[in-house]
Amino acid sequence: MLLPWEHRRKPLLQMDTPQHGHVPVLLPQVIELLAPQPGDMVLDCTIGRGGHALAIAEKIGASGTLVGLDVDPDNLSFARQRLEKSGPVCRFFQANFARLSEVLAVAKIPALAVILADLGVSTNQILSSRHGLSFSHDGPLDMRLDPELDRTAADMVNHLPEKTLADVLYNNGDERYSRRIARTLVRARKTKAITTTAELAQLVRSCLPHARSGAIDPATRTFQALRMEVNHELENLTELLKAAPRWLRPGGRIGIISFHSGEDRLVKQAFRNWAADGRFNVLTPKPVVPTELEMASNPRSRSAKMRVARMRME
């Protein structure tokens, strides 16, 4: 049986153009499963370029409230401008979703109808050399989404002990050549510090088998693993999952979109625990993944998985 969004040949909402810097993934599924209603109070933990938020804003209307968080001040201010006339009351905070409870308590936000987190990075962040996230655009080896973090990717590749570096690549990036890459980086940094994304990508490629044409770049996993470590991504998600249930109202829904097997595992386990103690129903027994059509039009969506849970009515 086809799910509702699989009937559609076109995206439900065609409001995103490249000038917004990012195409929101699984957009019709987010709207369908999180079901924002007029007047709802909704939290978007990762407002990014505001793509999901704009579609949610249309649903909750002028009587609704949209609370938005992002650690990246540039994305936050872009989203603020994009959303300020969209209808709902908008309350935006430059904050890490790991500190959800603190932010919501200080802002005196009561119970929420919907919580959304679309993890990872937006396309414009990957493409901007400022963030140093991309192996195809040279830039300083930084990778911090939050400019206030004190440790960059360059600090890590130039100072971590070889074994720790290998563990980071293996645990966060599922990189089976983690030891070989760590050895290469440690040898290279004895001669000269590794300071740019191009240098790092070149060193990784130099010690791995050549990629088949059409295969992913051999540096992909290293870059993902370092980014996750620099930004504490798994730790932040763990904190979000601890805090989120107490902020939902009965019947409220939470949706998390992840792009990494370690993240999806954390979400799956947390939702299972919430269901087991009777507080939640899991609405997605299997994660929701993009249609072929979406993957073809937005290759970045390929690894996306969304899980949704609903708090039971008392």
The answer to whether residue 115 forms part of the interface with ligand SAM (CB under 6 A) is no
Verify binding: residue 66, ligand SAM, rule CB under 6 A.
no
Size of the site for ligand SAM (CB under 6 A): 23
The stretches of 35-95 forming alpha helices (DSSP H) are: 51-60, 73-83
Residue 56's closest CA among 83, 16, 76, 77? 83
Residue 204 or 256: the one with the smaller Cβ distance to ligand SAM is: 256
SS3 118: strand
Q: Is the dihedral of CA 120, 226, 136, 72 positive or negative?
A: positive
* Residue 122 within binding range of ligand SAM, rule CB under 6 A: yes
Is residue 256 a contact residue for ligand SAM (CB under 6 A)?
no
Touching ligand SAM, residues 264-303 (CB under 6 A): none
As a whole number of angstroms, the distance between CA 270 and CA 301 comes to 23
| Closer by beta carbon to ligand SAM, 93 or else 137 | 93
Beta bridge partners of 39: none
Residue with tokens 């049986």: 1
Q: How far is the CB of 123 from ligand SAM (least distance, A)?
A: 8
* Residues of span 184-243 touching ligand SAM by CB under 6 A: 236
DSSP for 243-274, written as a single string: HGGGGEEEEEEEEEEESSHHHHHHHHHHHHHH
Out of 28, 40, 42, 75, the residue judged to bind ligand SAM by CB under 6 A: 75
Q: For ligand SAM, which residue of 69, 143, 157, 181 counts as binding (CB under 6 A)?
A: 69
Q: Which part of the chain contacts ligand SAM (CB under 6 A), choosing from 46-54, 57-65, 102-110, 170-178?
A: 46-54
Nearer to ligand SAM, 17 or 213 (CB): 17
Compute the least distance from the CB of residue 217 to ligand SAM, in Å: 20
**Among the listed residues 148, 154, 257, the one whose alpha carbon sits nearest the alpha carbon of residue 198:** 154
Residue 293 backbone dihedrals phi, psi, to 5 degrees: -60, -45
What's the length of the chain? 314
Interface with ligand SAM (CB under 6 A)? 22, 24, 45-46, 48-52, 69-72, 75, 96-98, 118, 120-122, 145, 236
